Amino acid sequence: MPVSVPDHPAYPVGLRLAGRRVLVLGGGTVAQRRLPALLAAGADVRLIAPEVTPSVQAMAEAGELRWEPRGYRAGDLADAWYALIATDDPAVNAAASAEAESARVWCVRSDDAEAATAWTPATGRSEGVTVAVLTGRDPRRSAAVRDAVVEGLRDGTLTAPRHRGRTAGVALVGGGPGDPDLITVRGRRLLAEADVVIADRLGPRDLLDELPPHVEIIDAAKIPYGRAMAQEAINRALIEHAKAGRSVVRLKGGDPYVFGRGMEEVQALAEAGIPVTVVPGISSAISVPAAAGIPVTHRGVAHEFTVVSGHMAPDNPGSLVDWAALAGLRGTLVLLMAVERIGAIADTLIRHGRPAGTPVAVVQEGTMAAQRRVDATLATVADRVAEEEIRPPAVIVVGEVVAVAGGGEDGAGER
């Protein structure tokens, strides 16, 4: 007879299933949900079921498991280390679990937790930590606790500093456009683990207030650099802190590689022999228009978008931008760092053929509390920017996508 002692908690253990036979009986949604974790653990899965879901079939076809399309037969448990019994026939489940009991194979049952010899915890992983939660009879609560712990580890709100394997170095983190919710979970976790944060003016500055008092926060704009270039001074600060054994986050606005000089920092650190991790970020080029209701592409309207730096006027000999070619495109132009030179840029685009009536939207401080949008056309944008006293940071979107959701100079206007 199975031994059932419901008042005792389960004894937690981590099974190392790699290369070991696991029998899965039944190919429905329960199996489908459990199989990925078994496969990720490297288990040698043998699946016995007359029918399976399309996803399970795809796993079998991909060679991830061996599927025998038939029903359970006595003896199927013989060479298994562990079993998942999940057919929709209670009599089959009972017979298979009786065999598991006598063969001393730990077995999970989908239909009767009390009759099972093992329970599947709610599990999740974050950066090498496996979280497994068992509450006994309340799987929803297990899942909620698991979610809270995994989420906390991921976003750094649950601080669990590494003691082994923690390497001093620099993480170049793209912080997104400014709203603190728009940094990646990896970026947020690295920020929570940092000893030193060197931050730009743009990006999620609100997150800096949440850091514990021992974290040194350095404003990149205020690093004293004397006669040297500002970027060199930042590189030097990154290298010095990392060499002192600190874990350094270089927090940048948007994505580090979109007009962010990210690669220059990576190269300087590589030359100094310092390990660097680059964490991509949500670029303002896409997210700021989106926050103002503008899609950078739209079916039947724009099949391309081009992100352009406007930090040099079109007639500047140092400019690498082919404004004449851009004027010939029909798609969306997204201009960054262009507020001060928008008059010259708009004139150049019109002169080279982009219609003067092309809708334009200027979005200042996108995704932040002070966000505002001003609508214009190529012909009027310079005046509108001056009248509305638009200041950087702003993203300027040129193209018909601006009018898709009812915007445009005659549409929604400033909002």
Q: Quick check: 381 binds ligand SAM (CB under 6 A)?
A: no
One of 255, 265, 375, 409 touching ligand SAM (CB under 6 A): 255
CB 292 → ligand SAM: shortest distance, Å? 9
Residue closer to ligand SAM by CB (options 265, 365) is: 365
DSSP annotation of 137 reads S
Pattern of binders to ligand SAM over 295-314, x per CB under 6 A?
A: --------------------
Question: Stretches 81-89, 129-137, 140-148, 359-367: which one binds ligand SAM (CB under 6 A)?
Answer: 359-367
The rounded distance, in Å, linking the Cα atoms of 83 and 20 is: 11
- Which amino acid belongs to residue 188? R
One of 67, 72, 82, 259 touching ligand SAM (CB under 6 A): 259
CB 394 within 8 A of CB 295: no
Edge-first strand order for the sheet with 372-377 is 305-309, 332-336, 394-398, 359-364, 372-377
CB 269 → ligand SAM: shortest distance, Å? 18
Pattern of binders to ligand SAM over 193-232, x per CB under 6 A?
A: ---------x------------------------------
Q: Quick check: 336 binds ligand SAM (CB under 6 A)?
A: yes
Q: How far is CA 53 from CA 26, 30, 35, 49, 58, in A?
A: 10, 10, 12, 10, 9
The rounded distance, in Å, linking the Cα atoms of 169 and 279 is: 13
Q: Quick check: 184 binds ligand SAM (CB under 6 A)?
A: no
CB 281 → ligand SAM: shortest distance, Å? 6
CB 178 → ligand SAM: shortest distance, Å? 4
CB 370 within 8 A of CB 316: no
Could you say which of 76, 200, 255, 375 is catalytic? 200
- 222 a catalytic residue: yes
CB 390 → ligand SAM: shortest distance, Å? 10
Residue closer to ligand SAM by CB (options 60, 282) is: 282
Length of the chain: 415
The rounded distance, in Å, linking the Cα atoms of 190 and 185 is: 9
What lies within 8 Å, CB to CB, of 100 at 6+ separation is 77, 80, 83, 85, 106, 107, 117
The rounded distance, in Å, linking the Cα atoms of 352 and 11 is: 74
Give residue for tokens 């000893």.
Answer: 195
CB 145 → ligand SAM: shortest distance, Å? 36
CB atoms within 10 A of CB 214: 6
CB 348 → ligand SAM: shortest distance, Å? 18
Q: Quick check: 279 binds ligand SAM (CB under 6 A)?
A: no
One of 392, 405, 411, 413 touching ligand SAM (CB under 6 A): 392
Q: Quick check: 294 binds ligand SAM (CB under 6 A)?
A: no
Could you say which of 7, 209, 222, 315 is catalytic? 222
CB 230 → ligand SAM: shortest distance, Å? 12
Q: Quick check: 390 binds ligand SAM (CB under 6 A)?
A: no
Q: Quick check: 126 binds ligand SAM (CB under 6 A)?
A: no
- 252 a catalytic residue: no
Q: How far is CA 31 from CA 20, 35, 211, 237, 379, in A?
A: 18, 6, 42, 53, 62
Q: Quick check: 393 binds ligand SAM (CB under 6 A)?
A: yes
Task: Using CB under 6 A, count the residues that bind ligand SAM.
Answer: 24
Residue 374, beta-bridge partner list: 362
One of 95, 301, 329, 337 touching ligand SAM (CB under 6 A): 337
Residue closer to ligand SAM by CB (options 336, 382) is: 336
CB atoms within 10 A of CB 166: 10
Residue closer to ligand SAM by CB (options 27, 262) is: 262
| Per-position DSSP letters for 157-211, written without gaps between them | SS----SSS---EEEEEE-BSS-GGGS-HHHHHHHHH-SEEEE-SSS-THHHHTS
Q: Is 372 exposed, middle or buried (0-12, 13-18, 19+ CB in 10 A)?
A: middle
One of 175, 254, 280, 399 touching ligand SAM (CB under 6 A): 254
Query: Using CB under 6 A as the criterion, which residues of the chain lie in contact with ligand SAM when the complex forms?
Result: 177-178, 202, 253-255, 258-260, 283-285, 288, 336-337, 363, 365-368, 392-395
Catalytic residues: 200, 222
